[in-house]
């Protein structure tokens, strides 16, 4: 049996960042991760950071490598088939910077910080179970090395993703879920090649495409694909050919191709669970919500959840004040729903939908035309894209 103040379920960026921030405020925690550290570090995820995420990482001592290796990102382009190229100028309309810096690198930075501080991160923790969550003495059990072990704690933070045990530990009667599935997925490829100079969304009659970035010699590209698509049907040559067919000629000619070092297919969906609290359990990140990757909001929402939750837990454990703890779910969900709306809107705008009515296609085209000519519409999108400020 072990005792800590906060048991954190999940050793991805959300759980590690929460542990790091709590430690800086004098709050003890133990992180339980069901996978190995190597597995966690091999996961390929998002890489576009909002202004608030950048500021927070610097504030908690995690900005040095990001500032050294990250790519400043002042907006994204939209290349609409047959129309002028359009740039979402976030710097112009908000004055706030964004950055391309991969989630894998952030996770590496967090592991290094927790190791340097002597933080407890238990990998390969099997059969994690949460107990007595509505009492003032919750505890967590798990298996490691053939033994069942127990952690007593004051609070449990569920940072273990969409398929983790945390949200599943909440009775269905105490949880409302909202979901929207999309009739397509993204086929993504990563290559050790110089990326296209800007992040660019491409709308084309063949389907959506995206040029993204990770580092000066690491590129990430996506194309819209059918939900039943198979990676085996998409060798590198076919992928590059299809990607370039969906991009304007000048853009296609400048894309540097190369062997893939990672390739994956992911379905798109929107998902929110309310509330993000059940007794002494608090959900954060993908455990509570999923956004389509179109708006680059997933990692940034996890960071804002952790900001709110670390502040709330610190206030409760160090000062005995529960104002932030009691308001955590409502405060976090306001930002979650704003990001869900923006991601849903952008996904709807620039993808091809099977069996779409001509009227709907015209409406989408008119939305883009309005965005192209209206500075107020551009400013609104830029404000959402760069990320709303954290609430005080």
Residues found in the chain: 392
Instruction: For residue 262, list its beta bridge partners.
Output: 190
Spot the catalytic one: 20, 289, 297, 351: 297
**Active-site residue identified among 138, 195, 292, 293:** 293
The token pair at 361 is 């296609």
Which token pair is 134? 């509505």
**Angle formed at CA 350 by CA 348 and CA 355, multiple of 5 degrees:** 65
3-state helix, strand, coil in the chain (%, to 5): 40, 30, 30
Catalytic residue among 201, 221, 222, 278: 201
Active site residue 385: yes
139-144/147-152 β-pairing: antiparallel
Among positive and negative, which fits the CA dihedral 313, 317, 318, 320?
A: positive
Q: Nearest 5°: CA angle at 231, between 230 and 237? A: 125
Distance between CA atoms of 303 and 109, rounded to whole angstroms? 14
- The tokens describing 90, both together, are 């976030």
In sequence order, what are the residues at sequence separation of 6 or more whose Cβ sits closer than 8 angstroms to the Cβ of residue 76?
A: 87, 88, 198, 199, 200, 201, 385
Do the beta carbons of residue 340 and residue 348 sit within 8 Å? no
| Tokens representing residue 1 in the block | 């049996």
Q: Give bridge partners of residue 157 from the DSSP assignment.
A: 8, 282
Farthest CA pair distance, the chain = 65
Q: Determine whether 293 is an active site residue.
A: yes
73 is catalytic: yes
In the set 73, 139, 204, 351, the catalytic residue is 73
169, 289 contact by CB (below 8 A) = no
Q: Is 221 a catalytic residue?
A: no
- Mark whether 370 is an active-site residue: no
**What residues act catalytically?**
73, 201, 293, 297, 385
């Amino acid at each position: 049996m072990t005792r800590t103040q906060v048991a954190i379920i999940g050793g991805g960026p959300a759980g590690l960042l929460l542990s790091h921030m709590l430690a800086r405020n004098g709050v003890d925690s133990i992180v339980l991760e069901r996978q190995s550290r190597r597995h966690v570090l091999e996961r390929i995820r998002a890489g576009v950071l909002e202004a608030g995420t950048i500021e927070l990482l610097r504030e908690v001592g995690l900005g040095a490598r990001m500032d050294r290796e990250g790519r400043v990102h002042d907006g994204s382009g939209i290349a609409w088939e047959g129309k002028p190229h359009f740039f979402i100028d976030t710097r112009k309309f908000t004055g706030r910077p964004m950055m391309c810096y991969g989630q894998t690198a952030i996770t590496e930075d967090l592991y290094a910080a927790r190791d340097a501080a002597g933080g407890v991160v238990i990998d390969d923790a099997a059969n994690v179970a949460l107990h007595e969550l509505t009492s003032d003495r919750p505890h967590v059990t798990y298996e490691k090395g053939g033994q069942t072990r127990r952690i007593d704690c004051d609070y449990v933070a569920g940072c273990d993703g969409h398929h983790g045990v945390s949200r599943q530990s909440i009775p269905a009667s105490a949880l409302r879920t909202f979901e929207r599935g999309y009739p397509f997925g993204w086929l993504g490829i990563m290559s050790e090649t110089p990326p296209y100079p800007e992040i660019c969304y491409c709308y084309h009659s063949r389907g959506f495409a995206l040029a993204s970035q990770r580092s000066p010699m690491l590129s990430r590209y996506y194309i819209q694909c059918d939900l039943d698509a198979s990676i085996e049907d998409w060798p590198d040559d076919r992928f590059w050919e299809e990607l370039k067919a969906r991009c304007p000629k000048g853009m296609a000619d400048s894309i540097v191709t190369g062997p893939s070092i990672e390739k994956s297919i992911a379905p798109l969906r929107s998902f929110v669970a309310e509330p993000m609290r059940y007794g002494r359990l608090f959900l954060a990140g993908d455990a509570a919500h999923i956004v389509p990757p179109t708006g680059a909001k997933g990692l940034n929402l996890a960071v804002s959840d952790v900001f709110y939750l670390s502040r709330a837990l610190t206030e409760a454990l160090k000062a005995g004040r529960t104002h932030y703890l009691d308001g955590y779910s409502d405060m976090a969900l306001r930002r979650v729903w704003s990001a869900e709306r923006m991601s849903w809107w952008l996904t709807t705008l620039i993808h091809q939908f099977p069996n779409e009515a001509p009227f709907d296609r015209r409406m989408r085209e008119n939305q883009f035309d309005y965005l192209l000519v209206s500075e107020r519409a551009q400013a609104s999108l830029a404000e959402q894209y760069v990320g709303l400020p954290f609430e005080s």
